[in-house]
Structure formats: C-alpha cells, structure tokens
Amino acid sequence: MSQHTKPCRTCPFSKTCPPGELGGSPPGTFIGQVYGAFWLPCHERVDYSNPNWKTEYEVSQCAGAAIVRDMWFPAKRPDELLKLPASDTVFASPAEFLSHHTGIGMGTSAAWLDDVPPVVLWMHEMKRAGTQVISGQLNNNQTKTG
C-alpha cells in the first residue's frame, strides 16, 4: 500500500472538493471523526461494494483528515493514525469546512458549532460506531480494549 501525503482533489477536507460532495454523510460526521481518533480511509481507495470495507485496513488513510486533525484539534492520538503537516490545501477550520459544504456563511457556521461543539459531534460518532465513552481512570482490574 502506498500512502499519499496530499489530499485527493475530491477529498471532503480539500478546498478543491465540490461543495456538498460528502458521500451522503453530513458535515458533522467528518468534524466529529477528525476531532477523535478515528482511522479514516481515503474514500478514493476504498471498495465500498465490499461488505467488509470497514475492516479492510489495507488502504491508504485520508491525507486530508490527517492534515486537518492536527490543525483543527491538536491532541495526542494513537501512533497508528497518519500525521501530516499543516497545509493551505485544506479548510483552515471546522467552520470553513461547514460553510463550504452547506453553503451557509462563516458566521452561521461558527454559531452552529457553538451550539453543537465538535466534542458533541465526536461523541455522536463514537455512539454510532458502537463504542462507549468511559470517564475516569481505569483501575488495575480493568483493561483497555480496541
């Protein structure tokens, strides 16, 4: 597998992506997934006709997501996630991404994100993925999974 380091022309995070072309997912899905530690495949390299596509990790990770993840939400994340430096080829903020893909203005996008912060979008994506958010520290009798 060859990992690319620049977003594809149609990458949802790329400024060259046509507005609204998000593969049927709402913009909040993308914002929530890059806020967290989701492993995101490149949409141009996934065979979505394969019923097991969600468990096929033999494709490149999304370069656009790898760039915006640290630009928008810098944090320590698993080493397995692709990390790429900041670039002006992607949207500078979640509000800019939202504005581009929905056609609403930057002020309205920022206000929407104030009402529905990225952490809420991330929690929604965690729930959709079937995971459970556990608060607090693990004790010696508990183990981390996945």
pLDDT digits (tens, 9 = 90+) for 71-130: 999 999 999 899 999 999 999 999 999 999 999 999 999 999 999 999 999 999 999 988
The residue written with tokens 């977003």 in the block is 7
Per-domain residue ranges of the chain: 1-146
Q: Is the dihedral of CA 38, 97, 21, 85 positive or negative?
A: negative
Give 7: exposed, middle or buried? Use CB within 10 Å, 0-12, 13-18, 19+. Answer: buried
Q: CB–CB of 42/8 below 8 Å?
A: yes
Query: Is residue 143's pLDDT more than 50?
Result: no
Per-residue pLDDT tens digits for 36-73: 988 898 888 877 778 877 776 678 899 999 999 999 99
Dist CA 39 CA 24 (whole Å): 19
Neighbour tally for 76: CB within 10 Å: 6
| Start-to-end Cα distance in the chain | 23
Cα dihedral across residues 63, 68, 73, 74: positive or negative: positive
- Residues 7, 89 contacting (CB under 8 angstroms): yes
